[in-house]
Amino acid sequence: MPAVKKRRRRGRKTPSLIERAAAVFERYTIAGAAGAGVILLLVGVVLWAGGYFAMAGRSVDRAAQRAAVNAGLEVRQVLLRGAHQTAHQEVLDVLGPVIGESIFRLSLDEARARIEQIGWVRSAAVTRLLPDTIAISIREREPAAVWQMNGDLHLIDDSGAKIREVGAYEYSNLPLIVGAGAPDAAAGILKAIGLRPELQKRVYALVRVGDRRWDMRLRNEIKVKLPEENYERAVNDLALLHSAQSTLDQPLEYIDLRDPERMVIRKRGETGAPAD
């Protein structure tokens, strides 16, 4: 019977002294790094809570602005283009103190937004012209009507945006818009009569009725009742009728265009109940 060789079991190698020392060093190094990270995090939180980061940021910003001024990059003038009704000083007032400041300190987007809050300004563009100029270009609103509400008068453009408060005799050539919510709804009716200059110059007032339709009051005291829908067509029909028959020169009390199938005209002095 052949002899069976027994395998020797290899015993686990005992770590050397150097390997044990390295393992201990590694453990303590990781623990130390984690502890240092926690400490740094806590320090950061304390500095942030105390406002030190913000103070440091402001200090850096002030230093950068001073450096720009010292380099000649300071605002010495503000140029304004496109202004006819908008005062230069009014623009400077909304910008705030910019003369003598670094040209980079002014936020162009914020400056544009502030300028567009001025009543006359429809839109604005603000740019830097290095080394020392802020250039502003504006497009002004065109007055389209005067809005009367609770005894106050406001000049408005064709979109209904308020431009400024006006006196009783200012802009008397423009139609008077009357009623709550009238400016927001005025764009369409102003555009419709604007396409008919002969009719437009006769309109004294546009009265909002029930926040749903318009009455036109002409300068010769004729009232024109417009429909709630398709009033543009009614305005066009009225202009064509006047062009053919001089209808608006006649002594009329009102013209009712609310029914698209039937026009009702009432002469002054006629008896009978008037339409609503």
Residues 164, 148: one domain? yes
User: In the listed set 122, 140, 158, which residue is the last one of a domain according to the structure?
Assistant: 140
Q: Is residue 11 part of a domain?
A: no
Q: Is residue 273 part of a domain?
A: no
Residues 130, 184: one domain? no
Residues 176, 259: one domain? yes
Q: Is residue 126 part of a domain?
A: yes
Q: What angle do CA 57, 94, 133 make, to 5 degrees?
A: 70
Q: Is residue 207 part of a domain?
A: yes
Residues 124, 198: one domain? no
Q: What's the confidence (pLDDT) of residue 71?
A: 64
User: Cα dist. 268→159, 202, 252, 254, 271 in Å?
Assistant: 35, 18, 5, 8, 9
Q: What is the CATH number of the domain that holds 254?
A: 3.40.50.11690
Q: Are 200 and 182 in contact (CB under 8 A)?
A: no
Residues 153, 261: one domain? yes
User: Cα dist. 179→20, 26, 162, 207 in Å?
Assistant: 92, 83, 15, 6
Q: What's the confidence (pLDDT) of residue 1?
A: 46
User: Cα dist. 240→87, 196, 244 in Å?
Assistant: 43, 9, 6
pTM score of the predicted model: 0.68
* Number of domains forming the structure of the chain: 2
Q: What's the confidence (pLDDT) of residue 211?
A: 87
Task: Tell me how far apart the alpha carbons of residues 70 and 192 are, in angstroms, rounded to a whole number.
Answer: 58
213-218/203-209 β-pairing: antiparallel
Structural domain boundaries enclosing 131: 77-140
Task: Tell me how far apart the alpha carbons of residues 67 and 53 are, in angstroms, rounded to a whole number.
Answer: 21
Residues 210, 260: one domain? yes
Q: What's the confidence (pLDDT) of residue 155?
A: 95
Low-confidence ranges of the chain (pLDDT < 50): 1, 4-6, 21, 24-25, 28, 31, 47, 53-54, 57
How many residues appear in the chain? 276
- Sorted by sequence, the CB contacts under 8 Å of residue 260 that are 6+ apart come out as 227, 230, 233, 234
Structure tokens at 70: 């010292």
Residues 196, 253: one domain? yes
Q: What's the confidence (pLDDT) of residue 74?
A: 86
User: For 83, which DSSP code?
Assistant: -
Residues 120, 162: one domain? no
